[in-house]
Structure 1
Amino acid sequence: MGISKRTLQTWRNNGKIPYAMLGGKVYFKESDINGLLQAGMKQKQNG
């Protein structure tokens, strides 16, 4: 997807993206990541 692990960790820590933790591993829904990326692109285009 072209997103670093650190970026995902930052988004998780800031509450920007929901996640699940199973067996010590963190999981994200691809649709949540795509939605956040799309929202960021729209903000950059408008601002």
Structure 2
Amino acid sequence: MYATRSTIKLKPINEYGVAKVLDSGHPNFKTGDLVCVLLDGKSIA
């Protein structure tokens, strides 16, 4: 059997990221803070 787009249920890819704040004008984020984020494929596509 060949897998084709119609035979495989496609799901968004979730990604995690970590970054260091270099500069911020936001009171909750200061320079040097580490932040993490969850990106889901639905919001990017």
Greater helix fraction, Structure 1 or Structure 2: 1
Greater strand fraction, Structure 1 or Structure 2: 2
The structure with more radius of gyration: 2
TM-score between both structures, scaled by the size of structure 1: 0.24
TM-score between both structures, scaled by the size of structure 2: 0.25
